[in-house]
């Protein structure tokens, strides 16, 4: 593991920092009402376009498609530097992190020409239509049907938990094309226009008050065969490209951390004196510090692999398992410390701008999205530690013969 920037990395970091200092939008002090607010969306699009013009959006993508033509280590360094600034919300993460890389890897040349540049510039937004009511962790159990009708396909079914479907232009859709084949072999990937007749998006109301994800229903949605990504029946293989990118894209928790809990504990008085004198709380903070340091060094390991031109392996699953639980534990303890103020969620009134209130409400979702804790632990057990595989009884059974419980 190498902790220091090489001279080349240090030079790139200095250049990126100087550019960000000159161009990053200044915080307005206004409360961000989220991406449903057209003003926030405009700010996000403008920031993405400015980065694309300077070669800092999609740094590893080819220049011909609007990328920066750079290396993965440059992308990591720019991300670290950008995180120091209060930039607009990022509605492009799913498209740029997962969907468009899938089009670039498995799509045809016409699709690459059509979609990659507008996505990199923030002009078009994508969502990922994989999960269904009975296909989440086991996404290969997808039941949304795509039936061939001469040059078209007709889609019927339902997706769920589709983040950003309500403001997306396009979606990456995993559909069942052959129910007679085993479940991993009868799937095909398509792109769809989210505004086409036959697509209905229904927002899901969350406990935070926001509606970031949706149910998406397809009723006789007719699409062209040219919207297929990869071969018929190869949808599972194509989806692995998306899912591998997803594990890398959904990294850590971010937001408020153990330093803020420490500060809070120093400021809050209990009947027994300052909260920080409580030995149980001090022990917890020390434990969170150790976990945060462990995460930091795991990230250094990824960074070292990238700067040596290697691809980070399944060990990157560790980051999300640890950071999401850490975020949830710290937020619960911080809200307890805040006592009656802990229930205030308005960022203008809540302590620390409501950072821990937000963290407590988003942590459970983070422990599920992009692979639940249990699924990631299975990956670590099987692929990092080399333990025996999970039992998979339905692997070679025709999909239509798998019992559904009905």
Would you tell me which residues interact with ligand FAD (CB under 6 A)? 94, 127-128, 130-131, 136-137, 161-163, 213, 365, 368-369, 372, 374-375, 378, 390
User: For ligand FAD, which is the closer residue by CB, 52 or 327?
Assistant: 327
CA dihedral 74, 75, 77, 78 (to 10 degrees): 110
For the record, the structure tokens of 319 come out as: 């980051």
Q: Which is nearer to ligand FAD, 40 or 378 (CB)?
A: 378
Residue 18 or 402 having the CB closest to ligand FAD: 402
Going from the C-alpha of 149 to that of each of 153, 156, 189, the distances in angstroms are 6, 13, 16
Q: Write the CA distances from 25 to 91, 216, 389, integer angstroms.
A: 17, 34, 48
Question: Would you say 1 or 391 has its CB closer to ligand FAD?
Answer: 391
In the complex, the smallest distance separating the C-beta of residue 372 from ligand FAD, rounded to whole angstroms, is: 3
In Å, how far are 37, 81, 146, 249 from 87, measured between CA atoms?
A: 16, 11, 40, 18
Residue 197 falls in which region: left (phi positive, over 0), alpha (psi -120 to 50) or beta: beta
Nearest-CA neighbor of 112 among 123, 97, 99? 99
Interacting residues of 277 by C-beta distance below 8 A, sequence separation 6+? none
| Spatial contact of 129 and 216, defined as CB atoms under 8 Å apart | yes
Taking the complex as a whole, how short is the minimal distance between the CB of residue 214 and ligand FAD, in angstroms? Answer: 9
Residue nearest to ligand FAD (CB): 136
To ligand FAD, the closest distance from the beta carbon of 342 in angstroms equals: 23
Structure tokens given for 177: 């094309």
Task: Show the tokens assigned to 127.
Answer: 């969502």
Give the nearer residue to ligand FAD in terms of CB position, either 49 or 383.
Answer: 383
Cα 103-108-114 angle, rounded to 5 deg: 70
> Which pair of tokens denotes residue 295?
């995460």
Q: Give CA–CA dist 24/102, Å, rounded.
A: 29
What is d(CA 218, CA 193) in angstroms, rounded to the nearest whole number? 12
Nearest to ligand FAD of 74, 357 (CB atom): 357
Q: Min. distance of Cβ 88 from ligand FAD in angstroms?
A: 20
What number of other Cβ atoms are within 10 A of residue 73's Cβ? 22
Choose between 154 and 369: whose C-beta lies nearer to ligand FAD.
369
| Paired sense of beta strands 152-163 and 213-224, if any | antiparallel
Min CB(111)–ligand FAD separation in Å:
20
- Strand-pair category, 213-224 with 199-203: antiparallel
> Which residue, 71 or 369, is less far from ligand FAD as judged by CB?
369
Q: What is the CA radius of gyration of the chain?
A: 23
Least distance to ligand FAD, CB of residue 345, Å: 18
Q: Sign of the C-alpha dihedral, residues 188, 192, 194, 197?
A: negative
Cα separation, 392 vs 397, in Å, equals: 11
CB nearer to ligand FAD: pick between 136 and 251: 136
Find the shortest distance in angstroms from Cβ 127 to ligand FAD.
6
Q: Name which of 268 and 368 has its Cβ closer to ligand FAD.
A: 368
- Least Cβ distance, residue 218 to ligand FAD (angstroms): 14
Q: Report the nearest approach of ligand FAD to the CB of residue 385 (Å).
A: 16
User: Minimal distance in Å, beta carbon 170 to ligand FAD?
Assistant: 13
């Amino acid at each position: 593991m190498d902790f220091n920037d090489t001279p080349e990395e240090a030079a790139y970091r200095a250049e990126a920092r100087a550019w960000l200092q000159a161009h990053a939008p200044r915080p307005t002090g206004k409360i961000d009402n989220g991406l449903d607010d057209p003003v926030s969306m405009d700010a996000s699009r403008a920031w993405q376009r400015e980065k694309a013009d300077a070669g800092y959006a999609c740094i590893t993508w080819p220049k011909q498609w609007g990328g920066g033509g750079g290396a993965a280590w440059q992308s990591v360094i720019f991300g670290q530097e950008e995180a120091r600034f209060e930039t607009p919300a990022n509605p492009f993460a799913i498209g740029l992190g997962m969907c468009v890389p899938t089009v670039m890897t498995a799509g045809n040349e016409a699709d690459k020409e059509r979609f990659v540049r507008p996505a990199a510039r923030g002009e078009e937004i994508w969502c990922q239509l994989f999960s269904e009511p009975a296909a989440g962790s086991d996404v290969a159990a997808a039941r949304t049907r795509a039936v061939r009708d001469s040059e078209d396909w007709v889609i019927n079914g339902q997706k769920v938990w589709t983040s950003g479907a309500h403001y997306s232009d396009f979606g990456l859709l995993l559909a069942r094309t052959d129910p007679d084949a085993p479940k991993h072999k009868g799937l095909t990937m398509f792109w769809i226009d989210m505004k086409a007749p036959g697509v209905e998006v229904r927002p899901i109301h969350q406990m935070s008050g926001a509606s970031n994800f949706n149910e998406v229903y397809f009723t006789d949605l007719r699409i062209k065969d040219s919207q297929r990504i990869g071969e018929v029946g190869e949808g599972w293989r194509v989806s692995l490209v998306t899912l591998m990118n997803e594990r890398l894209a959904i990294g850590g928790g971010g937001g408020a951390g153990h330093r803020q809990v420490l500060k809070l504990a120093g400021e809050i008085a209990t009947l027994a004196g300052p909260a920080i004198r409580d030995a149980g709380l001090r022990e917890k903070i020390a434990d969170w510090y150790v976990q945060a340091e462990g995460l930091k060094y795991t990230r250094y390991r990824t960074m070292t692999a990238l700067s040596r031109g290697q691809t980070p392996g399944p060990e990157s699953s560790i980051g999300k398992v640890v950071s999401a639980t850490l975020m949830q534990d710290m937020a619960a303890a911080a809200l307890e410390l805040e006592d009656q103020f802990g229930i205030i969620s308005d960022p203008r009134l809540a302590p620390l701008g409501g950072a821990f209130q937000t963290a407590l409400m988003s942590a459970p979702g983070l422990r599920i999205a992009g692979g639940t804790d249990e699924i990631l632990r299975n990956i670590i057990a099987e692929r990092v530690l080399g333990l025996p595989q999970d039992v998979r009884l339905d692997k070679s059974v025709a999909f239509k013969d798998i019992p559904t419980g009905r």
